[in-house]
Structure 1
Amino acid sequence: MSEPLTVLVTGATGFVGRRLVPELIEQGHDVRAMTRRPEQYDGPGEPVAGDVFDRASLTEPLSGVDVAVYLVHSLDDPDFEQKDADAARNFAKAAVACGVRQIVYLGGLGSEEDTLSPHLRSRREVEQLLGETGVPVTVLRAAIVVGAGGISWELTRQLVKNLPAMVVPRWVSTRTQPIALDDVIRYLAGVVGLPEAFGRTFEIGGPEQLTYLEMLQVAAEVSAGHRVPIVRVPVLTPRLSSYWLALVTDVDLTTGRNLIDSMGTEVVVTDNSITELVPGDPVPYAEAVRRALEDHQQD
């Protein structure tokens, strides 16, 4: 384990942040949980007020911080690319002014040789902007994170739960490499304060490369004990797909469309160097699904 550090976690009430804060505390770190409404925060760590869209508000929460974990995105906003770029610039400038030694960022997988969707393109831009002021950035790139409350996983869970059969577009044949939330937390916590990880980008994923269709079928088998009949159609545009998702799930239209735009891009791990710094066997997809379903029932 690395030395005890003062760590700021942005998005501390979000899907990943609320699981990461207790893990970092368990490792002995002094953790600040940044939120726009600290008076409503009831989790572990020290709640601190901060808004990435207001640079002046970031000075106090970042003062004296060794490592800042950046878990912010605006996927539910039609102008998310501009908003996320502005937020990253604000955070990078505040971090360097406060003497932060490392920024840890959770980004998205996808080959630079492919034409990236606006969602994935935005994640890459945020990576670059966070490092522009000179603070070493450690980037972990992931595909779908399987865990209760994750947007991509919620789409999968609700589709399987709500539909006796599915009509699906061609993107269900795209390969991806889902990763259990437990593994994402393990990798994030593992690189915090680790000098060998400074200024590096790592790809993280589970042990299997699956198509979206295979993910849906495994999720159906684990949750209901049987497969869901699926019919593929040649034409179902991202716009129509997003309306379909909004109809049968509680994921909002803008978020659904932004996610679907990314589903035509293959997102698989091509570099396993993260295992040299944070060893361990990743959780298989079926087990990740079981854990996510159990956590959802407990929420």
Structure 2
Amino acid sequence: MILAITGATGFVGRHTVERALSAGHHVRALTRRPQSDRDGVEWIAGALDDTGALARLVTGVDAVIHIAGVVNAPDRAGFVAGNIEGTRAVVTAASDANISRFVHVSSLAAREPDLSLYGWSKREAERVVADSPLRATIVRPTGVYGPGDTEMVDMFRLARFGLALTPPRGRVSLVAVEDLAALLVTLAGQDLPPGSLFEVDDGTALTHAALARAIGRAMGRPRLLPVPLPAAAVRLGARLDRWWRGRGAKLTPDRANYLLHPDWVADPARRPPPFLWSPRIPTDAGLLATAQWYREQRLL
């Protein structure tokens, strides 16, 4: 197949390109910056607001995998532009090109759109996809992690000292980026009913304390101490991080609202059927590989 991929230079996108190539597919990828030539990859210069680039990206492909989006933005307008209007532009281009299959990467945050601007924008992007004439599949991953990710690095850094600061309550689940990439490429080759929606994780639900201990084990600190913070302290930390790191803040007020929600585990009824996909990387093994990558990159 020829697969058009947005967000191909990002964390999930890079792994999805690798998976597509290893499966024998050709990739056509959107990029805002010059990229090195690579066998099997055709780079299309442009961005989500470039209608000409999007037309070149999708013309003649077998499927579109739309990954591009924003996780952090300084305001509502940033989330609208990156997640809603960006998705609308790709959907329009794919519809005009009569694409038969469209895989849209959303987020489990879309399940609770009133909690954060991010979750709201991802839900609105899902509406754009669902209201289109495309044969589309929506994927809601839980927390995505693995080699190449930097969103969780602060948690690993703190674990070196045998300590973890966690939200006061709740449970979460994760999915290794390699497993998510495998699912996206698989879905691109499936003729599923329009409107199919999957919530994706590795099948293991963890309390915040259990996740902290798992990161501790990955860092060689099995006696790590999780310290649950009151909700007010989490929100204060978000304001301090924004003051300290500005636009580079990892813990924003928007993300604080997300973290304080008690349940970020994929709904078993919405997981992909086993005949289609099953996760291969358990949480402990994935966190260990992530810690090793952080060390290799001298991020720890």
| Alignment TM-score, normalising by the size of structure 2 | 0.85
Q: Quick one: distance in 1 between partners of 2:170 and 2:4?
A: 36
Asked whether the equivalents of residues 175 and 202 of structure 2 are also in contact (C-alpha less than 8 Å), the reply is yes
Secondary structure at 2:192 match in 1: helix
RMSD: 2.8
CA distance, structure 2, for counterparts of residue 133 and residue 23 of structure 1: 27
Q: CA deviation at 1:277?
A: 4.2
Q: Provide the rounded CA distance (Å) in 2 between the counterparts of 1:46 and 1:262.
A: 37
Deviates more, 1:71-80 or 1:94-103: 71-80
Does residue 1:176 correspond to 2:175, yes or no?
no
Structure 1 residue aligned with 2:35: 40
CA contact (8 A) 2:109 2:118 kept: no
Moved more, 207-216 or 115-124: 115-124
Aligned equivalent of 2:181, options 177, 185, 191: 185
Shift of 1:148: 2.5
1:280 aligns with 2:278: yes
Q: CA separation in 2, counterparts of 1:275 and 1:291? A: 26
The 1:251–1:147 alpha-carbon spacing in structure 2 relative to 1, beyond 3 Å, is farther
Runs (5+) with no aligned partner, structure 1: none
Identity %: 23
1:227: which partner in 2?
223
C-alpha change, 1:157 and 1:245, in structure 2 (3 Å) is farther
1:207 is the counterpart of 2:225: no
Aligned residues between the structures: 291
The alpha-carbon distance between structure 1 residues 11 and 101, as it changes in their structure 2 partners (threshold 3 A), is: same
Matched, 1:269 2:261: no
Supply the AA of the counterpart residue of 2:264.
V
Q: 1:1-299 residue pairs with structure 2 within 5 A?
A: 5-37=1-33, 39-41=34-36, 45-79=41-75, 80-83=78-81, 84-109=83-108, 112=111, 115-161=114-160, 163-170=161-168, 173-196=169-192, 198-243=194-239, 252-253=248-249, 256-265=252-261, 266-270=263-267, 271-299=269-297
The one-letter code of the counterpart of 2:289 is R
Note the C-alpha offset of 1:153.
2.8
Structure 2: how far apart are the matches of 1:158 and 1:282?
26
Partner SS state of residue 79, structure 2: helix
Alpha-carbon distance in 2 for matches of 1:159, 1:251: 22
Are 2:100 and 2:134, in contact at CA under 8 Å, matched by a contact in 1? yes
Which range moves more in the overlay, 200-209 or 152-161? 152-161
Q: Which amino acid aligns with 1:85?
A: I
Change (3 A) 1:251 1:217: farther
Distance (Å, rounded) in 1 between the aligned partners of 2:177 and 2:292: 13
2 CA distance for matches of 1:240 and 1:102? 44
CA contact 1:49–1:61 (8 Å) conserved in 2: no
Instruction: Extract unaligned runs of 5+ from structure 2.
Output: none
Separation (CA, whole Å) in 2 of partners of 1:55 and 1:111: 26
- Structure 2 counterpart SS, 1:196: coil
Q: Residue by residue, what CA displacement relative to the aligned partner does 1:127-186 show, whole Å, maximum 9, x if unpaired?
A: 11134331122111111112123354334323324x55345442xx22111111121112
Call closer, same or farther: CA 1:286–1:197 in 2, change over 3 Å: farther
Note if contact 2:101-2:134 (Cα within 8 Å) is conserved in structure 1. yes
